[in-house]
Amino acid sequence: MQLYQRGDKKMEGTMQLHLEMISSFICSWLLKKILCSCSNLVHSL
């Protein structure tokens, strides 16, 4: 039981890492999209 719990903890940590990577990727992608649309707006004005 103890061994299983330890393995579970490791999996949890790996999932946490993946989630952080994915969220940071999405954040940077969103920032780029927002910056692009902002510059487009400025150019159209």
Spatial distance between the Cα atoms of 32 and 11, rounded to a whole number of angstroms: 32
- pTM, two decimals, is 0.59
pLDDT of residue 9 exceeding 90: no
* Average pLDDT over every residue of 4-8: 67
Per the structure, the complete domain to which residue 8 belongs is given by 1-45
**Number of separate domains in the chain:** 1
Q: Give the CA dihedral 11, 17, 18, 22, nearest 10 degrees.
A: 160
Q: How does pLDDT run across 17-29, given as a tens digit for each residue?
A: 999 999 999 999 9
15/40 Cα distance (integer angstroms)? 37
